[in-house]
Amino acid sequence: MERPTANEPKPPTDQPPSQSESTPSPLPSPHADEGTHAYNSFRSELTYRDDDVIDSEWAGSIPAQYGVAPRVRIGASRWFNLLWLIPLGFVLLVIGIAVAKGIRGLPAVQAFIAQYPGTSSLPNDAPLGFPAWVGWQHFLNLFFMIFIIRSGWQILADHPRLYWTRHSTPGLNWFRMQKPVPPDPLYTAKEDSITLPAGVGLPGRRHTIGLARWWHLGVDTLWLLNGLIFYILLFSTGQWLRLVPLHWNVIPNSISVGIQYLSLDWPVETGWTNYNSLQLIAYFITVFIAAPLALITGLGMSPALSTKFRWISSIFSIQVARSLHFLVMCWFVLFIIIHVTLVLTTGALRNLNHMFAAQDNGSWTGFWIFAASMVLVIVGWVAATPLTYRYPRKVQQIGYALIGPAQRLFEHIDSKPGQYTEKDISPYFWHNGKYPQSQEYKILREGSFADYHLRISGLVENPVDLDLAQLRALPGHEQITQHFCIQGWSGVAKWGGVSMSTIMELVKPKPEARWVVFYSFAEGSDKGTYYDAQPVEQMSYELTMLAYDMNDQALSYGHGAPLRLRNEVQLGFKMVKWIKGIEFVEDFAEVGGGQGGYNNDHEFFGYSQSI
């Protein structure tokens, strides 16, 4: 439902009414004599969004766009539609069954199966059966996975392309769920995002990445905690012996099991005591390879960690991490499908008793506990999207409560320059966001920004008003760094401008200044001035700067002319383009919707975005 109040400006509560547009600042500055540039805040131009409803105005009324069926690039420019895998997989399965049935009768194969019947060998002291905690852990794991996978798809849909190099060059993606990038040079990554069918993505609507990330990262922390407890219990109870292949004969044994499954003459189930070799390998990969890899590749997408652990991120770039993260998801989904199929077709009642009732018999107990668990899963699945749209602010708060500590921790990384050189500069750098449309900006641009003034005000000893010539006269700073958009694309560029520490020396922030708010000439997607608040601590980091040049040229219109922010421990949306003013404040709660940035107010992003 549309709320008429959603876009109305919130009255600024912090400013005495006398400080209006035309009141000159009492404090000295290079332009104080002009009298027209007031050091008032831009806060009155900010808007906020209601906390309970996402209406049809979502993300600037972005219309649904479903993209295309997922496809993989073959060679230079041919694309294979992955939907073909369904009939193809079926045909291959039928052929596999025919072949397995054909060879099963051969004396050599019979001898092989007799020698390697498929069971894995366990040491004598291995525990027998499943303790109850395995059942609990298994349930929590599967429950969390649902939200993680669905929100993961949502995040993928926000930049529905995957690459193997750190440059997100159109045409060089190896995977896409979207049409090729159109030739429009100002095409944005936001326009490229796609909708997912309801109930598939979490929350589903196009460009809901802010909310999807709270689900993904928030539930991740629970899933990791559950996994950590699982590891501890596995190794303290000896249960790990049942999940780790201890002998090379697991390989011929698993081939034997494969032949037995495919020939539809299945091995005897011995899951209560020990898994067959194929199960053992599949469980081992899932628990000890895929799960840790999910964590590592997830962290590989963090801007802060990537600028810190540069030797890893030089090979294992965000895009490699993102592609591998996707492949890990594919493993989990494939595993879930095969695992559930086999559990239900190889003595379902007994298998369900093992995992859900910690007992080894053919009673219905396990089945009923399983059924009740599935009710919880279905309720969770169905309710997640509508609840997210009803209580987005709650999702934002709970998500931040869960992942916030890690996000805040990594924010303290003051990265060093020199990670990239000229040859690393990306041939294509995506555009993003909403371009400035105001008359004020248009006139400034037409005049080549000769009349541009950057106002720096708020809790500083010396508020200033700098034009571009004055900015360029300040000591220069250059860096070649990588940009990480929250949507998933990345690009390396060389930025030229003024270090924020130079600016701080000039304006002298007061001790009570804790946050620095950057205001843009452009509106956000949903009306109202685009802005973002950054912790003052990060303003003195070596790689935090105001850029007026990009790749040795004056910053272009699309990339933020005449001035934009670079803060390399953060995601791209925090790097305000088309900056018109900077304000030092004590607490961002007083600014705009109070969440620390335009996207946080309107699209429920977070303010600490080091991961």
- Residues near Mo ion (CB under 5 A) are 432, 485-486, 572-573
CB–CB of 594/466 below 8 Å?
A: no
φ/ψ bin of 60: left (φ > 0), alpha (ψ from -120 to 50), beta (otherwise): left
- Residue 563 as a binder of ligand MTE (CB under 6 A): the answer is no
Which among Mo ion, ligand MTE, none contacts residue 434 (Cβ within 5 to 8 A by kind)?
ligand MTE
Which among ligand MTE, Mo ion, none contacts residue 577 (Cβ within 5 to 8 A by kind)?
ligand MTE
Question: Can you tell me the distance from the alpha carbon of 260 to that of 272, in angstroms, rounded to the nearest whole number?
Answer: 20
Question: Can you tell me the distance from the alpha carbon of 537 to that of 547, in angstroms, rounded to the nearest whole number?
Answer: 19
Element (H, E) at 502: helix 500-507
Question: Can you tell me the distance from the alpha carbon of 597 to that of 15, in angstroms, rounded to the nearest whole number?
Answer: 19
Q: Which is nearer to Mo ion, 260 or 544 (CB)?
A: 544
- Residue 430 as a binder of ligand MTE (CB under 6 A): the answer is yes
- Residue 572 as a binder of ligand MTE (CB under 6 A): the answer is yes
Distances from the Cα of 348 to the Cα of 258, 367, 368, 370, angstroms: 20, 8, 12, 11
Cα of 289 vs its chain's centroid, Å: 21
Q: Which is nearer to ligand MTE, 150 or 577 (CB)?
A: 577
CB–CB of 96/262 below 8 Å?
A: yes
Q: Three-class SS of residue 465?
A: strand
Tokens at 20, concatenated: 């209006």
Piece of the chain touching ligand MTE by CB under 6 A; list 368-376, 453-461, 501-509, 569-577: 569-577
Residue type, 521: F
β-strands 564-567, 529-535: how paired? unpaired
Question: Can you tell me the distance from the alpha carbon of 546 to that of 474, in angstroms, rounded to the nearest whole number?
Answer: 11
Q: Which is nearer to Mo ion, 530 or 573 (CB)?
A: 573
- Least distance (Å) from ligand MTE to the CB of residue 577? 4
- Least distance (Å) from Mo ion to the CB of residue 517? 19
- Least distance (Å) from ligand MTE to the CB of residue 207? 10
Tokens at 125, concatenated: 């002291």
Piece of the chain touching ligand MTE by CB under 6 A; list 70-78, 97-105, 567-575, 600-608: 567-575
Question: Can you tell me the distance from the alpha carbon of 586 to that of 518, in angstroms, rounded to the nearest whole number?
Answer: 14
- Residue 168 as a binder of ligand MTE (CB under 6 A): the answer is no
Tokens at 380, concatenated: 């969770």
Among 163, 530, 584, 607, binds ligand MTE (CB under 6 A): 530
- Least distance (Å) from ligand MTE to the CB of residue 90? 41
* Alpha helices by DSSP H, 300-432: 303-308, 310-313, 318-345, 348-357, 365-390, 392-410
Piece of the chain touching ligand MTE by CB under 6 A; list 99-107, 293-301, 463-471, 557-565: 557-565
Among 25, 407, 432, 608, binds ligand MTE (CB under 6 A): 432
φ/ψ bin of 517: left (φ > 0), alpha (ψ from -120 to 50), beta (otherwise): beta
Tokens at 596, concatenated: 């620390």
- Least distance (Å) from ligand MTE to the CB of residue 549? 13
End-to-end Cα spacing for the chain = 33
- Residue 431 as a binder of ligand MTE (CB under 6 A): the answer is yes
Q: Which is nearer to Mo ion, 357 or 575 (CB)?
A: 575
β-strands 454-458, 564-567: how paired? unpaired
Q: Which is nearer to ligand MTE, 284 or 519 (CB)?
A: 519
Task: Tokens 């969004």: give the residue.
Answer: 49
Instruction: With CA atoms as reference, report the closest residue to 516 among 571, 559, 467, 579.
Output: 579
Among 37, 167, 213, 434, binds ligand MTE (CB under 6 A): 434
CB–CB of 27/565 below 8 Å?
A: no
- Least distance (Å) from ligand MTE to the CB of residue 527? 12
Which among Mo ion, ligand MTE, none contacts residue 578 (Cβ within 5 to 8 A by kind)?
ligand MTE
- Residue 610 as a binder of ligand MTE (CB under 6 A): the answer is no
- Residue 495 as a binder of ligand MTE (CB under 6 A): the answer is no
Tokens at 160, concatenated: 């529905």
Piece of the chain touching ligand MTE by CB under 6 A; list 36-44, 176-184, 319-327, 570-578: 570-578
Which among Mo ion, ligand MTE, none contacts residue 520 (Cβ within 5 to 8 A by kind)?
ligand MTE
Tokens at 594, concatenated: 């109070």
Nearest position to ligand MTE, beta carbon? 433
Stretch 376-415: interaction string toward ligand MTE, x if CB under 6 A = ----------------------------------------
Question: Can you tell me the distance from the alpha carbon of 304 to that of 610, in angstroms, rounded to the nearest whole number?
Answer: 5
Q: Which is nearer to Mo ion, 120 or 525 (CB)?
A: 525
Among 168, 260, 520, 570, binds ligand MTE (CB under 6 A): 520
CB–CB of 7/527 below 8 Å?
A: yes
Among 485, 500, 533, 582, binds ligand MTE (CB under 6 A): 485
How big is the site for ligand MTE, counted in residues (CB under 6 A)?
A: 19
Q: Which is nearer to Mo ion, 152 or 572 (CB)?
A: 572
- Least distance (Å) from ligand MTE to the CB of residue 39? 21
Among 577, 585, 591, 595, binds ligand MTE (CB under 6 A): 577
Q: Give contact residues for ligand MTE (rule: CB under 6 A).
A: 429-434, 485, 520, 522, 530, 558-560, 572-573, 575-578
